[in-house]
Amino acid sequence: MLHEIEPHKLYNEFRKQSPRPTDFLVVYFGDKSLLKKNGDSFEIPKVADFNREDIPCHYLFSIDDAAYFLADLSISKELVESASDDYVLCPARTYRYMGDPLLRLGGATAAHIAHWESQNRFCGRCGSETSRSDKERAIVCPKCGNVVYPRISPVVIVAVHNGDKLLMAHNIDNPNPRLFLISGFVEVGESLEQAVHREVLEEAGVYVKNVRYFGSQPWPFSDSMIAGFTAELDGDDTIHMQASELSEALWVKREDIPEYETDVSISCCLIEDFRRARS
């Protein structure tokens, strides 16, 4: 999964430090990151790539000894406009397809933080201009004291088993045509398990029992934390698909499920676990 980078390690505690020429510099502008073309793929630029002294930027985290910095919003536009043709503004999902798992996690996590910062330039309570806290990863309002922490929205995803069949679905918003699992954001006032029951009933029209926790993963592309579950069908297996959310929802026999890559998403791990009859 995205966060599984052992024996490497993400050091995400808050601290202040100065950039070195070899550190990564994420430039975020208009919900996109400035990346460097390398043949058919992209790289995250380093501080030295910009050939400038004292770029206004701040430390985010490190993976092993590689530190990630984010260019301040005040300079992002200028860096984008002065970049050569080798640089392209790319959506955060571009990081997902990077071959190096360390860059994949580092880039996506940096974009998550950058997105949060860009959404909180002004206080939601009093409208004043905000600033970054110098004590923790937070945005503070100097006028009214409002404190805003990074947005991490909980999501549940569930592999519903029905004997040797798995409930699989395709979300209408997903450009990937493959079948995945039922998932959705947790609503206010409910537990993760209650969200599982509700989402399966809403999207597929069936009831589940024996909901069991499988694992979790960060999903920076939607500012989320995904909790994965397995569950068993409870009662009638007739699917009533929610057409506003899904284009397909069906029971797929174990032997008809193709292999899924398990190096990025918990969804694929849950599917593979069922396909290989491990759960």
Residues that bind Zn ion (CB under 5 A): 123, 125-126, 128, 141, 143-144, 146
Residue-wise DSSP of 80-137:
HHH--TTEEEE-THHHHT-SSHHHHHHHHHHHHHHHHHHHTSB-TTT-PBPEE-SSSS
Report the DSSP beta bridge partners of residue 43.
36
- Residue 9 Cβ vs Zn ion, minimum distance, rounded to whole Å: 36
Q: d(Cα 221, Cα 96) in Å, to the nearest integer?
A: 9
Nearer residue to Zn ion within complex by CB, 48 or 144:
144
Nearer residue to Zn ion within complex by CB, 98 or 139:
139
- Residue 147 Cβ vs Zn ion, minimum distance, rounded to whole Å: 10
- Residue 125 Cβ vs Zn ion, minimum distance, rounded to whole Å: 5
Q: d(Cα 153, Cα 91) in Å, to the nearest integer?
A: 19
Q: Where are the alpha helices (DSSP H) in the chain?
A: 73-82, 93-96, 101-119, 192-204, 266-275
Nearer residue to Zn ion within complex by CB, 123 or 195:
123
Contact 141, 128 (CB under 8 A): yes
In 3D space, the residue among 162, 158, 183 whose CA is nearest the CA of residue 173 turns out to be 183
- Residue 126 Cβ vs Zn ion, minimum distance, rounded to whole Å: 3
- Sign for the CA dihedral angle at 225, 77, 22, 40 comes to positive
Residue 51: alpha-carbon gap to chain centroid: 31
- Residue 210 Cβ vs Zn ion, minimum distance, rounded to whole Å: 47
Nearer residue to Zn ion within complex by CB, 97 or 122:
122
Contact 160, 231 (CB under 8 A): yes
Nearer residue to Zn ion within complex by CB, 21 or 127:
127
Nearer residue to Zn ion within complex by CB, 73 or 239:
73
- Residue 130 Cβ vs Zn ion, minimum distance, rounded to whole Å: 7
